A and B are shown apart, each in its own frame.
Chain A
Amino acid sequence: MNSERMLAFTRKNLKQIVREPASLFLVILFPVVLTLVFGISFGGIGGEQSAVYDIGVVTLDAGTYPVWALTFVDALDSTEILIIRRYETLEAAQNDLIQGSVKAVLVIPERFGESCTSFVQAPENPALWVESTVDLFLDSGSMFATQAIPPIIQQVLTTLIAGEQPTVQLPVHLGIPSLVEAESLTVFDYFTPGIFAFAVIFLTMIVAQTFTVDREKGLLRRINTTPASPFEVILGYTISNMGLAVIQVAVVFAMAFLVGYSTPAGLPGLFFAFVIVMVFALCSVGFGLITASIAKTPGAATGISFVFIVPQMFLGTFVSVGLSSVAQTAGKFVPSYYVTDALTSLLLRGAPVTSQTVVLDFVVVTAVSIGVLMVGALAFRRYGNT
Chain B
Amino acid sequence: MRNHTFFVMQKVIIIEDLTKRFEDITAIDHLTLEVPKGELFGLLGPNGAGKTTTINVLCGILAPTSGKVMVGGYNVFTEPRKVKSLIGVCPQDTAVYDYLTGRENIEFFGHLYNLPQETLARNSADLLQKMELTDHQNRRVSKYSGGMRRRINLAMALVHSPEIAFLDEPTVAMDPQSRHAVWDFIREQKSQGKTIILTTHYMEEAEELCDRVGIIDYGRLIAFGSPAELRQKYNAENLEDVFIQLTGRRIREAV
- On chain A, the residues within 8 Å of B87 by CB distance are 225
Known: A19-B140, A222-B91, A225-B84. A8 touches B99 (CB 8 A): no
Known: A15-B104, A227-B85, A386-B61. A221 touches B95 (CB 8 A): yes
- On chain B, the residues within 8 Å of A229 by CB distance are 81
A20 touches which of B81, B99, B112 (Cβ 8 Å): B99
B3 at the binding interface (Cβ < 8 Å): no
A219 at the binding interface (Cβ < 8 Å): yes
Q: Smallest distance from the beta carbon of A277 to chain B beta carbons, Å?
A: 27
Which residues of B (64-122) have their CB < 8 Å from a CB of A? Answer: 81, 84-85, 87, 89, 91, 93, 95-97, 99-100, 104, 108-109, 111-114
B213 at the binding interface (Cβ < 8 Å): no
Q: Smallest distance from the beta carbon of A2 to chain B beta carbons, Å?
A: 7
CB atoms of B85 and A225 under 8 A apart: no
CB atoms of B97 and A226 under 8 A apart: no
Chief secondary structure at chain B's binding surface: mixed
Chief secondary structure at chain A's binding surface: helix
Q: Smallest distance from the beta carbon of A207 to chain B beta carbons, Å?
A: 16
Q: Smallest distance from the beta carbon of A363 to chain B beta carbons, Å?
A: 37
A4 at the binding interface (Cβ < 8 Å): yes
- On chain A, the residues within 8 Å of B85 by CB distance are 227
CB atoms of B89 and A2 under 8 A apart: no
A12 touches which of B108, B113, B114 (Cβ 8 Å): B108
Known: A218-B91, A224-B61, A225-B59. A15 touches B111 (CB 8 A): no
Measured CA separation A379–B156 after assembly (Å): 29
B60 at the binding interface (Cβ < 8 Å): yes
Known: A225-B87, A226-B112. A219 touches B61 (CB 8 A): no
B60 touches which of A4, A225, A228 (Cβ 8 Å): A225
Q: Smallest distance from the beta carbon of A4 to chain B beta carbons, Å?
A: 6
Measured CA separation A4–B112 after assembly (Å): 7
Measured CA separation A86–B61 after assembly (Å): 75
Measured CA separation A16–B141 after assembly (Å): 13
Q: Smallest distance from the beta carbon of B236 to chain A beta carbons, Å?
A: 35
Q: Smallest distance from the beta carbon of A297 to chain B beta carbons, Å?
A: 16
CB atoms of A222 and B84 under 8 A apart: no
Question: A217-B95, A225-B60 known; 17 other A-B pairs, CB under 8 Å?
Answer: A5-B111, A8-B112, A12-B100, A12-B104, A12-B108, A15-B100, A16-B97, A19-B140, A218-B91, A218-B95, A219-B97, A224-B59, A225-B59, A225-B61, A225-B89, A226-B113, A227-B114
Q: Which 10 pairs show the lowest CB-CB distances between chains A and B?
A: A8-B111, A218-B95, A225-B89, A226-B112, A222-B95, A19-B99, A225-B59, A227-B85, A227-B84, A228-B112
10 contacts between A and B (CB under 8 A): A2-B114, A8-B112, A12-B97, A12-B104, A12-B108, A222-B91, A224-B61, A225-B84, A227-B85, A227-B112
